[in-house]
Structure 1
């Protein structure tokens, strides 16, 4: 799999340089008010894999060989257990109908050419029909949309909210809107294909050139298929999803997709109205009003209508794939339209350029962005011995004005599994990372299904390789399957260590969604403790969180083999902010209440004796 950040830094510079010039922005009052009373937890689930009970795991296996999960596998029991884990939102990944290698012609769906499909099950980010859902996920593909609507209703009944993907930057090479509402035309239906660019074309073209299949590995691992003939009928060729302008893209390009045109000319200039100065301070309602009399590119309207279609069906928000490859003016238009229908919609964007974070939040009206390049990457470096925990502090300082908007995660469909050898190495070594990720800011926390039971992604699925759970293949997820226990969803096949790990996640996540302090203030106490503090190891990290109702001290040990004993210092300025008088206070760990120590305040400074085991963390509440 390719590095998305390298793509955004290179081939797509056209969009990033022209559409996303960084401005010196300040947080608006309206933005400061955009918060929840408590933390939010997102449970990302790869929908195709969640309910699959088959354990064959043959590389390149078919549905018949390896099995597939269905919408109906999300039973009331399973949703209750997910909610009980401490989850508030479920992101059902891979729901929109995408290209795949399976014959559904009996249901009016055309076959996809394996030469422009990644794997057998296909990439969920090569969407073929935005107004319907993946037929693989339905018990009866003819009723697939109704089955998903029923899942939305079940999810809401369980007290959870629903997120799905929208992939605005690119679509499948063979897009066919078989389910379009009345009056909705397919992408490209009215394009002038004789020119490379026209503002209201949905695609960019390479006139007078046929598309050519990229060189590389054989589709379906060399298996015979009537559509595998070395060619794909696309004339003229279109630009590829990651911005490649070659009629024959490289194997590492997103060759299964075509790039959508948002009115960015090939030279990078904009062909649409720009937001006036000061709109970083405006509310979504003011953004919505701004666009009402503006003439915007056709692709803008198409994606707005897609989002509103799913909003009307009860979807509570969206995760936007590679949002930074699309101009933030479009996001202002799109997101303000969604918010006018559902002011509480949860809008999450995949953005990897820290210089652009504030643009996409304040001008693009995003609620949340991935905190990948800063917090995630730093935590991964720390546990792999490439960085010091001390470096977490400047990240928090840099992002203090937008920290609420930076969603934290340690595991998702794109990244190496937290428990994999390539990341933390064991699920237990991931525990201090998880505590810090979930408690260091007011932002939402996300976990990926199976993370809570130590899934390491060891399978070689075919197109997808080990360390990541494949999104391209039909495959089982072993640790998750043990928790699923043949559809009982009771953890009946988990090992003792896996049960303990899930209990840890349950304790942590439920604490975060109830804690008042985690929506309050942050201050590092790392620097005070790194100075002349005997026993305070260089793999310890500490900070405090507080509100008017609750005061917390968080200590994490990233070492895998060293127990540390030390006197934790609480600096005088923290003691003053907390209005603590000289005396003794009980510190009770909120993960495991049996863990207690005492905070002694003397002459306005605090100290507490700490003994912390390898990979252990404490979230102490001051009583």
Structure 2
């Protein structure tokens, strides 16, 4: 594709205007779920957040590279997170997962490095769902109590708590040593003589031993008594990504086992299905439907896990690879969660747009990742591979579910926004942040370190460059400068990093308090691209409004060029806003240093705009 050069990455939000495209319209179910303000999720990789060690030795041990603890989330740290403009903290990597460290003194078995990724282990290979990662506790024997104290501290400052649940797969060596009374362990009652049985928790490869995959040297070649080319699993089980090989490929999720939800070998469903019309039913009606139904054993196990954590004060869950689990199960579990806590925040990792509505309406998910639509498009735009015009088509295509599509630019799976592989600089990421935050009513998510320009440059060992490693003990350099030895005051940040964090604080707090961002959307891109002179191809404009607030958002995705043009506000927007001919002042709400004049003449609006590289404004009428 021909490379596209676009103008300086700037964003402008102007209070007042709309355009001749579809507006968001919500059905009754959506209106029930829409709060009166935006929500903001701050994802922290719990193991890394409080780590003050800057050694960063590839494949380093805890002793060499350090590790963050639950206690590092002090009252001060949590207050700073809240003041950034956050409503939920997603503590990633809390459930006890497989890792390479000897905790046998407190009754935890050692994990085989040949079925663990990295030294610190993948947070998505959970070893015991009824306890937490011992690495995160000052006293590992009291790790659950330390996490309960963190829940209480988080609530005390007015934030809510999200943790992961990973229903599709569990660690190869799962050991439920902390199961509540009456809870049977995964696989304890399985018939291992058959490949599939509805109430088996796993799929099996009968009469076949598991074989360790051909992969890079575990622990980078370090000596370990458990590294012997073998792992005892007989019969072998299917691997987490669905591989049916007794010897998984090195690129398979070989550290995990696939959980059986009653999907037969031919893909058919071995459980009750939802009746027609249940896409419009409430969670109460879903809950009533499942009451007394005979469902696969794995369904009950994971429902009990979710309710266990909800009872401890967890306010919501992020469900890993939710589309690999049938949406009927989600209806069953999520309706049970919502029955206990109607305000629970349920976020799912789903990447298939054709399935979005099934997981929202039938699976009763609150939110899904807006990854393959908005995120991917924004990444293409900032890399010069695409023009921003396509954002209008995305918003139009998802108008009925836009509130449910959580927006993000950074998370533990993706390349860091500031990395050379993504935006290139933190400044070039700013216009993406403005669009991502303001274009819909959906929640916004920020990954810790994003707000100070973390680029993921470290060579952590198993982890991948440009992504902050989730498999290794490592320090996150930009974040550590903000943490400033536990003061959480940004004392070691450069001026550019301080300015960047100030930008994030401004845009996130504005989003929390803006009624227009919970109101209507209409793009004004089309008319300006067709009729406005000097309207650069890298500019994108849209409007948001409520009864009490009217916004125009203008973004310049170019990182190099200042653009000057006369923005047109179409007649239908002027009519919807009940603006009469005359002059109106549009005042910047982001930095409060700039105003422009909106002239309405013969029912059409015009405003002279000067927009600089990677700059953002929010104007209010």
TM-score band, normalised by the shorter chain?
over 0.9
Once residues 411 and 196 of structure 1 are traced to their aligned partners in structure 2, the CA distance between those partners, rounded to angstroms, is 39
- Which residue number corresponds to residue 387 of structure 1? 386
- Which residue number corresponds to residue 435 of structure 2? 436
Once residues 38 and 217 of structure 1 are traced to their aligned partners in structure 2, the CA distance between those partners, rounded to angstroms, is 48
- Structure 1 position 479 matched with structure 2 position 478: yes
Query: 1:532: how far off?
Result: 2.9
Query: 1:456: how far off?
Result: 0.1
What TM-score do the two structures reach when normalised by structure 2? 0.96
Query: SS of the counterpart of 1:129?
Result: strand
Once residues 27 and 263 of structure 1 are traced to their aligned partners in structure 2, the CA distance between those partners, rounded to angstroms, is 34
Once residues 392 and 567 of structure 2 are traced to their aligned partners in structure 1, the CA distance between those partners, rounded to angstroms, is 17
Once residues 527 and 481 of structure 2 are traced to their aligned partners in structure 1, the CA distance between those partners, rounded to angstroms, is 45
Contact 1:536 1:566 (C-alpha < 8 Å) held by counterparts: yes
- Structure 1 position 263 matched with structure 2 position 266: no
Query: SS of the counterpart of 2:317?
Result: strand
Q: Kindly report which structure 2 residues correspond to 1:389-538, keeping only aligned pairs within 5 A, or say none.
A: 389-538=388-537
Once residues 278 and 220 of structure 2 are traced to their aligned partners in structure 1, the CA distance between those partners, rounded to angstroms, is 51
Query: 1:28: how far off?
Result: 5.1
- Which residue number corresponds to residue 602 of structure 1? 601
- Which residue number corresponds to residue 175 of structure 2? 176
Contact 2:406 2:442 (C-alpha < 8 Å) held by counterparts: yes
Query: SS of the counterpart of 1:408?
Result: strand
Once residues 76 and 357 of structure 2 are traced to their aligned partners in structure 1, the CA distance between those partners, rounded to angstroms, is 40
Contact 2:434 2:507 (C-alpha < 8 Å) held by counterparts: yes
Once residues 51 and 92 of structure 1 are traced to their aligned partners in structure 2, the CA distance between those partners, rounded to angstroms, is 12
Once residues 390 and 91 of structure 1 are traced to their aligned partners in structure 2, the CA distance between those partners, rounded to angstroms, is 32
For residues 418-447 of structure 1, give each alpha carbon's deviation from its aligned partner in whole angstroms, at most 9, with x where no partner exists: 000000000000000000000000000000
Once residues 185 and 475 of structure 1 are traced to their aligned partners in structure 2, the CA distance between those partners, rounded to angstroms, is 36
Once residues 121 and 326 of structure 2 are traced to their aligned partners in structure 1, the CA distance between those partners, rounded to angstroms, is 27
Contact 2:30 2:403 (C-alpha < 8 Å) held by counterparts: no
Query: 1:143: how far off?
Result: 0.2
Once residues 412 and 361 of structure 1 are traced to their aligned partners in structure 2, the CA distance between those partners, rounded to angstroms, is 22
Contact 2:542 2:552 (C-alpha < 8 Å) held by counterparts: yes
- Which residue number corresponds to residue 374 of structure 2? 375
- Structure 1 position 278 matched with structure 2 position 277: yes
Contact 1:133 1:145 (C-alpha < 8 Å) held by counterparts: yes
Once residues 388 and 504 of structure 2 are traced to their aligned partners in structure 1, the CA distance between those partners, rounded to angstroms, is 22
Contact 2:431 2:556 (C-alpha < 8 Å) held by counterparts: yes
For residues 36-90 of structure 1, give each alpha carbon's deviation from its aligned partner in whole angstroms, at most 9, with x where no partner exists: 1000000000000000000000000000000000000000000000000000000
- Relative contact order higher in (CA < 8 Å, ≥ 6 apart): 2
The ranges of structure 1 where at least 4 consecutive aligned residues each deviate by more than 4 angstroms after the TM superposition are none
Q: Kindly report which structure 2 residues correspond to 1:69-468, keeping only aligned pairs within 5 A, or say none.
A: 69-468=68-467
Query: 1:30: how far off?
Result: 2.7
Contact 1:96 1:133 (C-alpha < 8 Å) held by counterparts: yes
Unaligned 5+ segments in structure 1 are 1-25
Once residues 455 and 593 of structure 1 are traced to their aligned partners in structure 2, the CA distance between those partners, rounded to angstroms, is 27
Query: SS of the counterpart of 1:90?
Result: strand
What RMSD in Å do the two structures reach over aligned CA positions?
A: 0.8
For residues 441-465 of structure 1, give each alpha carbon's deviation from its aligned partner in whole angstroms, at most 9, with x where no partner exists: 0000000000000000000100002
For residues 536-588 of structure 1, give each alpha carbon's deviation from its aligned partner in whole angstroms, at most 9, with x where no partner exists: 10000000000000000111110011100000100000000000000011111
Query: SS of the counterpart of 2:276?
Result: coil
Contact 1:28 1:280 (C-alpha < 8 Å) held by counterparts: no
- Which residue number corresponds to residue 587 of structure 2? 588
- Structure 1 position 539 matched with structure 2 position 562: no
Query: SS of the counterpart of 1:389?
Result: coil
Once residues 27 and 349 of structure 1 are traced to their aligned partners in structure 2, the CA distance between those partners, rounded to angstroms, is 20
Query: SS of the counterpart of 1:162?
Result: strand
Once residues 499 and 557 of structure 2 are traced to their aligned partners in structure 1, the CA distance between those partners, rounded to angstroms, is 19
Query: SS of the counterpart of 2:389?
Result: helix
Once residues 596 and 432 of structure 1 are traced to their aligned partners in structure 2, the CA distance between those partners, rounded to angstroms, is 19
For residues 495-550 of structure 1, give each alpha carbon's deviation from its aligned partner in whole angstroms, at most 9, with x where no partner exists: 00000000000000000000000000000000111113122100000000000000
- Which residue number corresponds to residue 555 of structure 1? 554
Unaligned 5+ segments in structure 2 are 1-24
- Which residue number corresponds to residue 56 of structure 1? 55
Contact 1:204 1:238 (C-alpha < 8 Å) held by counterparts: yes
Query: 1:293: how far off?
Result: 1.8
Query: 1:183: how far off?
Result: 0.7
- Which residue number corresponds to residue 577 of structure 1? 576
Query: SS of the counterpart of 1:531?
Result: helix
Once residues 211 and 269 of structure 2 are traced to their aligned partners in structure 1, the CA distance between those partners, rounded to angstroms, is 30
Contact 1:27 1:281 (C-alpha < 8 Å) held by counterparts: no
Query: 1:27: how far off?
Result: 7.0
Alpha carbons of structure 1 residues 70 and 404: separation in structure 2 relative to 1, 3 Å: same
Deviates more, 1:529-538 or 1:151-160: 529-538
Query: SS of the counterpart of 2:517?
Result: helix
Query: 1:618: how far off?
Result: 2.2
Query: 1:621: how far off?
Result: 1.0
Once residues 189 and 130 of structure 1 are traced to their aligned partners in structure 2, the CA distance between those partners, rounded to angstroms, is 15
For residues 451-505 of structure 1, give each alpha carbon's deviation from its aligned partner in whole angstroms, at most 9, with x where no partner exists: 0000000001000021000000000000000000000000000000000000000
Once residues 189 and 590 of structure 1 are traced to their aligned partners in structure 2, the CA distance between those partners, rounded to angstroms, is 59
Contact 1:453 1:498 (C-alpha < 8 Å) held by counterparts: yes
Contact 2:27 2:400 (C-alpha < 8 Å) held by counterparts: no
Once residues 153 and 216 of structure 1 are traced to their aligned partners in structure 2, the CA distance between those partners, rounded to angstroms, is 42
Once residues 454 and 388 of structure 1 are traced to their aligned partners in structure 2, the CA distance between those partners, rounded to angstroms, is 25
